[in-house]
């Protein structure tokens, strides 16, 4: 990503544009996608294939990595027509996002920054 490009923030606060799957997708690098699938399969003890890694990002049309396509947080944000959870009035009371933040505290930092700027 160049300095002129903005970061793509997922509905949950993960930074899509920093994700190795997103980066490899944008580069069209099938070998890198396969390596990421192998790494994630070991890391998450899950059956992850290269088809589960290709991703154009959470908030744009196109391919979604395996989880993004079924993500309840993403679905909720889209149904409320919000770019991300940082813009949601129910952020502090939402169990889904608060539980997610326990797994991804770095995403909470991103969402908190967005929420603070929007208030």
Q: What is the mean pLDDT of residues 98-112?
A: 96
Domain ranges of the chain: 55-118
Query: Model's pTM, two decimal places?
Result: 0.85
Q: What is the mean pLDDT of the chain?
A: 92
Residue 2 has pLDDT above 90, yes or no: no
Exposed, middle or buried: residue 81 (CB in 10 Å: 0-12, 13-18, 19+)?
exposed
- Decide: 9 and 61 in contact? Cβ < 8 Å: no
At residue 16, the pLDDT reads: 94
* φ and ψ at residue 21, rounded to 5 degrees: -65, -45
Q: How far apart, in whole angstroms, are the C-alpha atoms of residue 10 and residue 86?
A: 10
Residue 69 has pLDDT above 90, yes or no: no
At residue 11, the pLDDT reads: 96
Residue 62 has what DSSP assignment? S
Residues 6+ apart with CB under 8 A from 41: 47, 48
């Amino acid at each position: 990503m160049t300095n002129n490009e903005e970061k793509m923030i997922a509905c949950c606060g993960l930074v899509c544009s920093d994700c190795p799957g997103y980066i490899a997708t944008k580069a069209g690098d099938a070998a890198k996608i396969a390596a990421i699938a192998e790494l994630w399969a070991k890391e998450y003890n899950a059956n992850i294939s290269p088809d589960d890694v290709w991703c154009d990002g959470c908030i744009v049309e196109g391919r979604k990595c395996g989880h993004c396509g079924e993500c309840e947080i993403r679905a909720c944000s889209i149904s409320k027509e919000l770019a991300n959870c940082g813009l949601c009035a129910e952020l502090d009371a939402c169990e889904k996002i608060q539980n997610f933040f326990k797994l991804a505290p770095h995403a909470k930092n991103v969402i908190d920054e967005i929420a603070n700027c929007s208030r």
